[in-house]
Structures are given as structure tokens and as C-alpha cells.
Amino acid sequence: MTFLAPAAAFFALTLPAIVALYFLRIRRPTRVVPALNLWPDQVRDRQANVPWQRLRVSSLLLLQLLAAAVLVAAAVQPALSAGTSLARHSVVLLDVSASMQARDVQPTRLDEAKKEVGAIIDQLSPQDRMTLVAVGPTPRIVASLVGDRDALHRALNGLGVSNGSADLSSALALAAGLVKAGDDARGYLFSDGIVGPIRTDASSSLPFPVEYHPIGVSGENIGLTSLVVRTSAQSRAAYLHLQNFGQQARTFSLEWRADGKLVDVRRLTLGAGVAQDLVLPVPSDATVVTAHIDTGDIFSLDDTVTAVARSPSTFRVLLVTPGNVFLQQALALRGDFQLDVVAPADYKSSAPYAMSIFDRFLPPGLPPGLAPGLPPTLPNGPFISIDPPPGSPLAGGAAIGVGRVRATDAGDPLLTNVDLNDVHIARSQDLRNDTFGRALISSLQTPLVLVRDEPFRQVLFGFDLHESDLPLRIAFPILIQNLSEWILPPSVPSHSFHPDEPVTIVPETGATSVTVIRPDGSRQALAAGAVATFGETDLTGLYTVEQALSGKTNRSWFTVNLFSDQVSQLKPADRITLPPYNNAVAVNSVHRGQLEIWPWIALGALGLVVLEWLAFHRGL
């Protein structure tokens, strides 16, 4: 046991002072009376209260001494050694991502984690520092204080859960930057383990050890993980994917709505671990469709999903190819593309297209800006050229064999979700000396895909798609989607985004104002004269974009849904592989936390004072 305020023991002098009061003579006023026969009790009392009389023990004296002793004990603030090993600097990483909304522990996983963090705060000594880091889509430091437990509790209680994912790697990097080499520090991670990829190489080592405290017990959940609206020449339909991630079969109701009106209700049963795909009707005049399941499970964020059903404004796109089904299907995934496919012999440069794709073909002449004075026949705008024929202006050197395919920059936004690990290319034109633009995808032998921003956004593939297995990989339609949205970004993307994912909005020409209306009805104005990035997408549901144009208001929509199998699985991880601990630069001098017991002692003293008061008034 330790005493946080030992100087307060000075108040122990009140104990002999109380005893001394019982020795002192009581001074009473003198009064003349006819006789003393009527005052026997008062005479005896006066005789008994002479100075320094013999002390007579009474219940009041004992209660007063005991209350004073207990108050002195509370004043010195005794603290017991707690069970948690603490360093002088405790770095607490608290997961506030979507999965922490689960109610398998009451009331939620986040509340349970807060309770455990609060227990550590209560054990801090006045010299200990605690840094509280909220681990969400964008990790942030909530508080970093020394000895101020009340402020730490307020910061902890002010934390709320988000709908996004947990970026633990960034949180660990942020925490590592707060600790200098040689500091006495220790980290504590309170999470269910449902976090993004974690770098565990030596370059990401931490200057302090991290203890993982798992939160949560169950993974019983049914979630809606995908909703896509497809439009054909005959009809429109929605494709819904749902899955039972738990270990028990569940029966539940599915409600299907269009523009808020009920279209269909179905009773479904899913076995443990079973997934199901449904095709649902979409009315021809519908703008938004919504699916909702009433499961009563521990996680509600993936019980409702929304999709935009109305077709956005379209771009006319030209594909010139001798035949490429893979490319044609990948381009058709853009719902705002009106795709025209022609053979090279039927190509005419006079038709106005927003973008052209040339597959194993290139019109005669040079692209604009590459050879001044020569008549350009390529469109004066965006295009994608794939395996241009030898001798054409964009052709590279002689074809060479290609080894391992890799991303030039793995962090390039154009390669988001593009996995090239299992992609093979037989051969490619030699683009090592090509000045078309920067390399996006490369090999050890030659760059494979080049991109440039000037004079327009344009792309050059140096290989024939049929001489690779790229079209057979899921990476291909994703790559084409990324490139097409980079070249021709829609004014408002009508597809679904993840929570906290930024949305690029390109104002329409002539728009005087752009306003985004969030699912909760709040409005945010954006600049109308430039491309804007809207990042306030933490809420799931429908977002409306209003653009004032020529005296009227044009409305577009996009949605935000969870759509994450990893989060919907919900099963807490028993352990997490964290970056290595670099103990060569750290000081390991942990001490036991302190559990203050003086508030309880003070409460006991208050009870004794009340008991003494009752005893006095009852003449005990």
C-alpha cells in the first residue's frame, strides 16, 4: 500500500484534540436561586466537570474518534497495488470501428472496451502519462495527459463508434511517433481484432510492447454484403447477396422497397455459414431501392442496404477492336457508358465520342501534340491504346518476353483493389524508351502500361490482352473501371461507397452551386467551379447531390453501405500478429498500477459521522 498524500497525516492531531475536549471543564453562567434542593442533577453535573477530570469513555467519544481516524485515513489517500502492469507512459489504442457496435457484450463491444480502459485510468499514479488513440478509418489522438484522471475519463466517455474500418497499421505508426527511443512505454490494444492489414516487417517495428485485449465473444450475424442494379434492354433487376456468418440456422424476413414503397416481402431461412443470391424486381421508374432484413442479431449495420436504380447521364464511348469480349464486358460495367463497338475497317474519326479505345489498331497519323504540322486523326481527347500495331506512332520496340508483373507504385490510386500477384504476360512491346507517360504496371524487362495527364488523360497498353491471363483475373475489370473513372469521372458516381470513403464529385458545366445532402438531412455546400472531394461519408444510406444549373436543380445520388465480409463475420480474433517490438531501444521498467481506495474510506467516515449524530440526538 502507498499513500498519495502523506502530508495529510498532520490532521491526525485532531484525535488528541477530541480527547482533550472531554477533559476540559464546562463553563456555565452563575445564577442565584433560593435553594439547591431542586437542582440535584445540575449540581452533580457541575461537580463532575471540573478541569482535567478523569476521562469517562462513552459511545459518542468512541464514534467521534473513529470518524476522525477514518477521515484522516482518507485524507492521506491510500492506494493498493493493482493487477495491471503499467509503464510510465501508457499508450491505449481503442478500436472504434464498425464491428465494435456489436451487442454480444452489453451494451456494446465499445462500451465494454471503455470500461476496461477506464479501469486502467483509475490505476494511474500522479506521475504516469496516458495517451488515448482512437483506432478508426483515420486514427487520431484523443488525449495525452499526465495524472489528470478526470480529463482522461471525459475524453474516453466522449468517444463514439464509427461505421468505417479500423486502420490499425496507421494507428500503430501514429503511436510509435509519440514514443522516443529509451522511453518507458507500453501499449494496450482494446479491439475485437477485426482490423485492416497490418505491416509486420522489421521496418515497422515498435519502440514499446503492445498487449492485445480481445473484446467480444460471438460471431452470430446475418449480413447483406452486396446489392447491384443491372439494366438490360428488356428490364432492370437487382442482385442481392446475403450470408449467415454464424453457427446456427436462422429464419428471418426480407423487405424489398423502391423509393420507400414496399415491393416484396419474403420469409427466408439460411443455414449456418450459408450464402444466398436473390434477384429482385426493380420498377422502371424507381430511383432508389432498399433491402432490409429483420434478424434481431447482434449487429444491425449490415441489415439494411441501398442502391441507386436510376441510370446516370451517359458518356458515348467508342471501342475499335477486331474482337475482344473481355474488354467489351469490362467496359459495359460502367452504367454511364453508351458503348459503340466497331471493327477497325469501319472506324470513322468524325463521330463525337467522350473516349475512344483502340485495341490492336491505331488510325493513321499521330496523336495531337506529338507531331505538330501533321494532320491528326486520333480524337483530340481521352483514349486508351492497347497493343498498337508495329510502325504506328505509339508502337514501342520489338516484342520481348515478360517475367513477373508488378505495380510500379503499389499505392497508386489507379491500382486500388487491383491484385497483380497471379497475372502472367507472355510478351510485350519494349516500352523502356517510350516517352508516352509514367509507368503504371511494369516488369523487370519493360514497362507494360503507361499513363499520362497531358494533353488529356490517356493510357497505353504495350501488350495484347489475349497474350496474358489478365482478362481472366478479377483484377482486369477493376483495373478498367479505375482507368475509365480516372479518364472520364462521372459527375456523381452512382455506385456504392464504403463508410468514410471519399467521393469525387465533378460539377456539371455551368453549375452555380453544388450541395450534398446526407442521410440524416444535413447539407454541405461544395465549390461549384472545380472537382471536389466529399469525405463526410460516415453515415450509411442515400446521399443526394443537388446542382443548380440554368435556373433548375439537377439531382444525382450515391450510396454508402458497409459491404464488408470481414466486418460482418464479427467473430473476435483470439490473437493478432503485431509488428515486432524493438526492445534494444526501449526501457522495460513496468510497475504495478495503483487502485485508490480513499473514496470508499471517506464514504465510511461519512457514515460514522451520521451514526454519531444519531447517537447524540438519542442520548446514547
- What's the one-letter identity of residue 511? A
Please tell me the total number of residues recorded for the chain in this structure. Answer: 620
Rounded-to-integer distance, Cα 217 and Cα 192, Å: 9
Average pLDDT over residues 64-78: 77
Average pLDDT over residues 558-576: 93
* Three-state DSSP state, 504: strand
**Residues 322, 359: contact at Cβ < 8 Å?**
yes
> And the C-alpha cell for 565?
465480409
pLDDT, averaged across the chain: 84
Identify the burial level of 328 via C-beta atoms within 10 angstroms of its C-beta, where 0-12 means exposed, 13-18 middle and 19 or more buried. Answer: middle
For the chain, the maximum distance between any two Cα atoms, rounded to a whole number of angstroms, is 143
pLDDT tier, 201 (very low <50, low <70, confident <90, very high otherwise): low
> Is residue 400 predicted with pLDDT exceeding 80?
yes
State which H helix or E strand residue 171 sits in. helix 168-176
Q: Where are the alpha helices (DSSP H) in 82-189?
A: 109-122, 149-157, 168-176
* Three-state DSSP state, 526: strand
pLDDT tier, 469 (very low <50, low <70, confident <90, very high otherwise): very high
> Is residue 11 predicted with pLDDT exceeding 60?
yes
So what's the pLDDT on residue 162? 94
Q: What is the CA radius of gyration of the chain?
A: 37
- What's the one-letter identity of residue 428? S
Question: Which of 133-137, 367-371, 417-421 has the highest average model confidence (pLDDT)?
Answer: 133-137
- What's the one-letter identity of residue 119? A
Rounded-to-integer distance, Cα 259 and Cα 586, Å: 59
Number of neighbours of residue 287 by Cβ within 10 angstroms = 15
**Residues 356, 331: contact at Cβ < 8 Å?**
no
Rounded-to-integer distance, Cα 178 and Cα 281, Å: 54
So what's the pLDDT on residue 325? 94
Rounded-to-integer distance, Cα 557 and Cα 207, Å: 46
So what's the pLDDT on residue 611? 76
Per-residue pLDDT tens digits for 148-174: 889 999 999 999 999 999 999 999 999
So what's the pLDDT on residue 37? 67
Strand-by-strand arrangement of the 315-320 sheet:
337-342, 315-320, 355-359, 383-386, 458-461, 447-452, 438-443, 405-407
Rounded-to-integer distance, Cα 269 and Cα 251, Å: 4
Q: How far apart are the first and last CA of the chain?
A: 37
Number of neighbours of residue 481 by Cβ within 10 angstroms = 18
Over the range 353-374, which residues count as b (16 or more CB within 10 Å of their CB) and which as e? bbbbbbbbbbbebbbbeeeeee
Rounded-to-integer distance, Cα 473 and Cα 245, Å: 26
Over the range 441-467, which residues count as b (16 or more CB within 10 Å of their CB) and which as e? bbbebbbbbbbeeeebbbbbbbbbbee
What are the angstrom distances between the C-alpha of 487 and each of 314, 405, 457? 14, 23, 5
pLDDT tier, 497 (very low <50, low <70, confident <90, very high otherwise): very high
**Residues 418, 330: contact at Cβ < 8 Å?**
no
DSSP 380: S
> And the C-alpha cell for 598?
480513499
Question: Model's pTM, two decimal places?
Answer: 0.68
So what's the pLDDT on residue 610? 76
Rounded-to-integer distance, Cα 114 and Cα 117, Å: 5
Nearest CA-CA partner of 215 in 121, 118, 105: 105
% residues pLDDT > 70 (the chain): 84
Rounded-to-integer distance, Cα 130 and Cα 296, Å: 38
> Is residue 188 predicted with pLDDT exceeding 80?
yes
> Is residue 370 predicted with pLDDT exceeding 50?
no
More confident site: 12 or 439: 439
> And the C-alpha cell for 334?
460502367
% residues pLDDT > 90 (the chain): 52
More confident site: 180 or 232: 180
Per-residue pLDDT tens digits for 545-559: 999 988 899 888 999
CA angle 24, 25, 30 (to 5 degrees): 155
DSSP 607: H
More confident site: 336 or 257: 257
What are the angstrom distances between the C-alpha of 569 and each of 40, 102, 140, 219, 566? 88, 11, 26, 6, 6
Dihedral sign (CA 55, 59, 60, 61) = positive
pLDDT tier, 411 (very low <50, low <70, confident <90, very high otherwise): confident
Residue-range domains of the chain with CATH: 2-79+598-617 (no CATH), 88-217+572-589 (3.40.50.410), 222-311 (2.60.40.10), 315-487 (3.40.50.880), 496-560 (2.60.40)
Q: What residues pair up with 290 in beta bridges, in sequence order?
A: 257, 306
- List phi, psi (to 5°) of 170: -70, -35
> And the C-alpha cell for 39?
437542582
- What's the one-letter identity of residue 570? L
pLDDT tier, 67 (very low <50, low <70, confident <90, very high otherwise): confident
> Is residue 587 predicted with pLDDT exceeding 50?
no
**Residues 520, 480: contact at Cβ < 8 Å?**
no
Average pLDDT over residues 462-470: 94
> And the C-alpha cell for 469?
491471363
